[in-house]
Amino acid sequence: MDVVETTRELQARADADRARGRRIALVPTMGALHAGHLALVDEARRRADVVVVSIFVNPAQFDARADLAAYPRTLDADLAACRGRGVERVFLPDERELYPEGYQTWIEVAELAKPLCGASRPGHFRGVATVVAKLLVAAKPHVAVFGQKDFQQLALVRRLVRDLGLDVEIVGLATVRESDGLALSSRNVHLAGEARRQALCLARALDAATSAVAAGERRRDAVLAAVREAIAKAPLARLDYAELRDPETLAPAPALLTAPTLLALAACLPRRDGQGEVRLIDNRVLLAQHVREGRS
């Protein structure tokens, strides 16, 4: 497995692979790899001859320096996990490589960045869009694989690629969960005890909404009431948002749900060390069967 630290070198490796007719897949990560990341790697392997994993904790997408400093970093374990999965190449740039002195070029996806996580994390998605664009330029992949847990990020990346006419396929992979239903996240390591148990309120809220819709409920406000009731059963959880949105445009859902609808959640729980909160997100597309049945 090669570890590459500069954009120029990574581009040169990609040029050589492309000249040999080899298909390249990129899995962008911020490290602290878990089974969800490795599922992305496995999907990339199914779609390409060369798998590139980037590991870069992107400072531009953190709105609080303390959150950036607290982000888990497990580089040795991450590299071992990549080797174990047969990854051909790891891109390991430092901050100066991607944001050299005097850096002033940013990419913004205007409307998709506004709601949900964007409403409470100003500038977050500008940092996401910029670093993803830089990673795509560096790795020159034919396909890039992202997790659907970060649904807004996935929608934003797809719009970025479409709007800029980038020649890369964006693949979204279903959320990987722990055995009790909690969505896998690098931030889960900061949870323990009762806070970890109450974190399941997000998955239970998704299940409550799914059950309501399956029973015939189509009123947006009634579905959201079921969601908030489930979250309220976890007193340690502070709800950031619970919203129903169009899965592609992220526009607010209508009063009556008649088409596939994204239920997106974010909640904060106490950190195990008592130093602030852990912010968790989760989502599910309700009425997704309408896509398979050809309705919209």
Helices 7-19 and 124-139: crossing angle in degrees, nearest 10, is 50
Which domains are delineated in the chain? 2-173 (3.40.50.620), 186-292 (3.30.1300.10)
Q: Strand 2-4 and strand 89-91: pairing?
A: parallel
**What is the pTM for the complete model shown?**
0.94
Please say whether the beta carbons of 91 and 141 come within 8 A: no
What pLDDT is stored for residue 37 in this prediction?
98
**What is the C-alpha to C-alpha distance for residues 84 and 121, in angstroms, rounded to an integer?**
35
Which H, E and C letters describe the chain, residue by residue? CEEECCHHHHHHHHHHHHHCCCCEEEEEECCCCCHHHHHHHHHHHHHCCEEEEEECCCHHHCCCHHHHHHCCCCHHHHHHHHHHCCCCEEECCCHHHHCCCCCCCCCCCCCCCCCCHHHHCCCHHHHHHHHHHHHHHHHCCCEEEEEHHHHHHHHHHHHHHHHHCCCCEEEEECCCECCCCCECCHHHHHCCHHHHHHCCHHHHHHHHHHHHHHCCCCEHHHHHHHHHHHHHCCCCCEEEEEEEECCCCCCECCCECCCCEEEEEEEEEECCCCCCEEEEEEEEEECCHHHHCCCC
What pLDDT is stored for residue 18 in this prediction?
98
How confident is the prediction along the chain (296 residues), in pLDDT tens digits per residue?
Answer: 999 999 999 999 999 999 999 999 999 999 999 999 999 999 999 999 999 999 999 999 998 888 898 899 999 999 999 999 999 999 999 999 999 999 999 999 999 999 999 999 999 999 999 999 999 999 999 999 999 999 999 999 999 999 999 999 999 999 999 999 999 999 999 999 999 999 999 999 999 999 999 999 999 999 999 999 999 999 999 999 999 999 999 999 999 999 999 999 999 999 999 989 999 999 999 998 753 333 33
Which is the catalytic residue, given 34, 37, 142, 190?
Answer: 37
Please say whether the beta carbons of 63 and 180 come within 8 A: no
What pLDDT is stored for residue 250 in this prediction?
98
What pLDDT is stored for residue 296 in this prediction?
31
- Output the CA torsion 286→239→65→34 (10° steps): -50
Bridge partners for 242 per DSSP: 265
For 185, the token pair is 């996240």
Query: 160: exposed, middle or buried (C-beta count within 10 Å: 0-12, 13-18, 19+)?
Result: buried
Query: 59: exposed, middle or buried (C-beta count within 10 Å: 0-12, 13-18, 19+)?
Result: middle
* 124 given a catalytic annotation: no
What pLDDT is stored for residue 66 in this prediction?
80
What pLDDT is stored for residue 67 in this prediction?
85
